[in-house]
Amino acid sequence: MNSSLSYYLGLLAVTLLPTAALSQTVSPATDRLVMGNSREMSVGVTVGIAGGDEHHLSRYASLPGKGSWLRYGSVDFTPLTDAYLALSVRARDNAELLVHEGSTKGKVIARVDIVVKGGGGPFRRDYSGQWMSLAVPLLHTPRGIADIVLTCKDTGVDVGWLRFKNRPKYFAPVTSAALRPDDQGYLRRWLLLEPIRQDIRSNVVFTDSYLQKAFSKEYFKGQMTRLPRDGQQVRVGNQRLKWHALDSENYNVRLFRFAERWGQQTYGSLFWAVTVIDSPREIRGVRLSVGSNGASSWWLNGDHVLTLEGDRRMVEDDARSGRLTLRAGRNILRCAVINGPGLSDFCARFLDDEGHAVVEPLTLILPKK
């Protein structure tokens, strides 16, 4: 049977089948939820078959315009921890799709802005009539099992599939009393302050004198002397910012993702971070080895030991301090990272003079609340 004949037979089968005959199993929200398999659709909503590789051969639902809706059920939202919505859509012009819980008037789970015509200059684009994969944050996450209902505005939208994706785990709250550096020596336990808003349009500004000015300003009391506590709040200008005690899941501390989760802004930010390194004995001749995106400055036990200037990207062992001494007992490592647009992160470890990571005998501790 040639492919176009099977295509038309498939289309015929789809339109003739009563939609109620489709299965009503519960699908995890993390599955690819095929909208052509919706349980209920308003009059005028049709189902078609999408060809093409990236979207696979799947049934899509076509919402003709305002007033049309479809109900997909049932969806189990329990697997979601910190999720966003990915979906495939097609439209003839700029459109909006709303994903509700339960009914057309139900709480809005996500608002999807479908921009098919946009951009400027060499990046002007026109995706009218083409399938697009989009992702949007969730405005509301249903609990347990619920139906999802899609509506649109005047411009009709074809919807292929929906899929709720859990973001990777970037941080875990500190629960253990102490944490060793990882086997490459990276320091993963930090007190991070929700970022301070900075007016930075471009990362070209981070000269040594700019950084000296930015990092020597007093944003909050005791910023260079006090050891903050998990949950402690500070006021910086008109921002109320909180300290979080976190263990990074990666060797690098992904400040952008921290800001996305807990901050008031991601771009144009100044991050303060503090950790406490407990050493059973004095260790001389170690160097702090750091990479950061963007520029950063570092202080050990109150002394400035390192600055990385310019529009940086994080590179392992990018810069090292001079030879330092870790005291027996408590050592406080503080850093400030500043970035305009783009991802921000840092990685830090101590290396001995031969370039070997200092792992034993250090432990990272953060004082209890």
Residues in contact with other proteins by the rule CB under 8 A: 52-54, 84, 86, 118-119, 121-125, 127, 131-137, 165, 167-168, 203-204, 251, 291, 293, 310-311, 313-318, 341-343, 347
Comparing CB distances to other proteins, the nearer of 46 and 198 is 198
CB of 214 to other proteins, least distance (A): 19
Is 363 within 8 Å of 283 (Cβ atoms)? no
DSSP states of 222-278: TTTT----TT-EEEETTEEEEEEEEEESSSSB-HHHHHHHH-S-SSSEEEEEEEEEE
Is 248 within 8 Å of 181 (Cβ atoms)? no
CB of 105 to other proteins, least distance (A): 27
The C-alpha atoms of residue 18 and residue 26 are separated, in whole angstroms, by 19
The residues that bridge with 76 in the sheet, in sequence order, are: 28, 145
CB of 252 to other proteins, least distance (A): 8
CB of 275 to other proteins, least distance (A): 20
The C-alpha atoms of residue 257 and residue 28 are separated, in whole angstroms, by 25
The C-alpha atoms of residue 366 and residue 369 are separated, in whole angstroms, by 9
Comparing CB distances to other proteins, the nearer of 171 and 251 is 251
The C-alpha atoms of residue 99 and residue 89 are separated, in whole angstroms, by 13
CB of 239 to other proteins, least distance (A): 24
Comparing CB distances to other proteins, the nearer of 86 and 227 is 86
6 membership: H or E segment, kind and range: helix 3-16
Comparing CB distances to other proteins, the nearer of 137 and 367 is 137
The residues that bridge with 275 in the sheet, in sequence order, are: 333
Comparing CB distances to other proteins, the nearer of 230 and 249 is 249
Comparing CB distances to other proteins, the nearer of 119 and 367 is 119
CB of 346 to other proteins, least distance (A): 12
